[in-house]
């Protein structure tokens, strides 16, 4: 990982239609990214109460490895 990268890709699926989960190392917020052809979108992952899913620092350290 390059120095100063803020996001960690923790999950990826697909080749032409790509779905990924990214974690912000500074805030712990999890994001869902989807790309299909020439379009794509990014949104925070939300729990059942509508609050963002946040990874704790220990989980983030595991993702780095």
The sheet with strand 17-24 has its strands ordered as: 7-13, 17-24, 30-36, 39-44
Predicted confidence (pLDDT) per residue in 44-58, tens digit: 999 999 999 999 999
Predicted confidence (pLDDT) per residue in 11-42, tens digit: 999 999 999 999 999 999 999 999 998 999 99
- CA separation for the pair 44, 25 (Å, rounded): 14
Assigned token pair, 22:
């990214």
H-state helical runs in the chain: 57-64
CA 34 to chain centre: 11
- Mean pLDDT in residue range 2-14: 87
65 pLDDT above the threshold of 80? no
């Amino acid at each position: 990982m390059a120095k100063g990268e803020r996001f960690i890709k923790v999950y990826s699926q697909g080749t032409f239609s790509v779905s990924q989960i990214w974690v912000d190392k500074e805030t712990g917020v999890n994001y869902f990214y989807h790309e299909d052809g020439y379009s794509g979108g990014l949104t925070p992952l939300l729990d059942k109460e509508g609050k963002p899913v946040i990874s704790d620092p220990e989980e983030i350290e595991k993702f780095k490895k």
